[in-house]
Structures are given as C-alpha cells and as structure tokens.
Amino acid sequence: HTLNTLTTRYLYCTYTVLYCSVVYCTSYPEIHTSYGTYLLTTTMGADNVVPPTYLRGFDRKRGLVAQVFVLMTIGFFVGLIPGRHLKPAPSYCPEDEPNCARPELFAFEFVCGSVFLWQSFVSIRSWHIRRSPQKHFPQNPIGRVFGYSAESEMMAAVSLSFQFWDLVATPWIPEFSSAIMLGHHFCAALVSFIALQYQFYHYYVVFFFALTEVSSFPLVLLSLSKYYPPIPGSFRATIADVAVPLFAI
C-alpha cells in the first residue's frame, strides 16, 4: 500500500509538471509559427533574439533514434555471453535451481552503463569544457526554454531511444518491472520526445538528459556487485569499493 501511494504521488507530480510545461510552451504569446518554422524574439535587444529553427525534430532524428535502439539491442545480446558465467546472489535465483544463471541482469546493466558512459563524456565536454549552453543560448527565460542547439537535439534523440528501449526491456526482467520504474521510463521518454520534437528546453537538455548520468555509471557497478557478489579481495570487489564514494560524490 505504501509503495502504491508513493508511486501514485510520483506519477501525479510528474504528469502535472509535464502538463504545465506543455501548456506554457504552446501558449506563450511571443511564439509565432509559420510553415513549420518559428521565430522567437524578446524585447531585450538584438542580442537576445533566438534564431529561427525548425520543428519536428523527431522526423529529422528518427534514423538516429532507430540506430541507437538497434545498437542497444545488440549490446544486450552481447552482454548475455559474459553474464552466463557470473554466479548471481541467492536472492536473485529460485530455490529449486542450483545452477541458476541470470545473464539478463548483466546484459541490462551493460547496456545502461555503455549509454551512461557516452552521456557522461558528451555532457562533460559540452557543459564544463566547451560551455556550449552558456555560449549558444540567449541568457534569458525565452532563450533557455525555446532556444535551439544541434548538440541538445542529438542528446534528446539518444535519451528518447534509451528510455523507450528501457520501457520495452524492463517488463521482461522482474527486478526492473515495478510500476515506479515503468512510470519513470515513460515520463523520461515523453520529456525527451517533447524536447526533440517541439524544441523545448534545449538549454537544459545537456544537464538533465546527460550530465546527471555521470553518477549513474558508478551505480551500475554497485548494482552488478549486488546481483553478482564478488569474492572479497578480488578485482571486482575493489571496483565495487571504489564505486561507492564515486556515486556519493
């Protein structure tokens, strides 16, 4: 009952934020739409004019979305190979299966870890080194909400593909098929689609769609050590020990 209550509140709050965001973005008086393009202007001077851009980002990036989905599927089946040789913890095995194997747990984390590594590299380079959001967007609310960035568009496309893949894959793995996990993937995929298709929040995409996943890679290592307990003193045990402070940081 407690879990259901928390799940309901989580989904309700998330849907409310999404609804308010879409209503705000689609009703803002300074948006002018014509023949699939729109020009965003402000009254704060020429330096604050957001360049005209094109809607329907999903139509332009559907090839990338499909390619990432296929690559992740291939990565999952590749991850099944080493996963067969790892002994899972007893809590993840039925009691009547002495030779239990759970390669799908490793394969799933392998896919997630690969995506998190890519997102971490791209976002750190963009946010901290190139400082692309700070340079390419007008530093006012209109620019940050409605501005365009090809880099952010790519990240939104990858995020959409990743979250949709998670939404398809998690129902087949009992540990990941809870209502709150499925709701999380659905909401994240929806936000990614809105950012991609309608060019919303490109300024924030770099941070919230990618940079936040820097801490997710150590979490993958911790999850693997939970699913497949390492031998004390082994290399895998050392990696798990290092992952704890990295995730906390």
Model confidence, pTM: 0.78
Q: What is the pLDDT along the chain (249 residues), one digit of tens a residue?
A: 444 455 445 445 555 545 544 444 444 434 433 333 344 444 333 444 555 455 688 888 999 999 999 999 999 999 999 999 999 998 898 776 778 899 999 999 999 999 999 999 999 998 888 888 777 787 788 888 888 888 889 999 999 999 999 999 999 999 998 999 999 999 999 999 999 998 888 889 988 888 888 889 999 999 999 999 998 888 888 888 888 888 877
Alpha carbons 50 and 71: distance in angstroms, whole number: 35
Determine which helix (DSSP H) or strand (DSSP E) holds 66, and give its type and residue range: helix 57-83
CA 14 to chain centre: 15
Q: Rounded to the nearest 5°, which phi and psi values hold at 85?
A: -95, 5
CB 96 within 8 A of CB 75: no
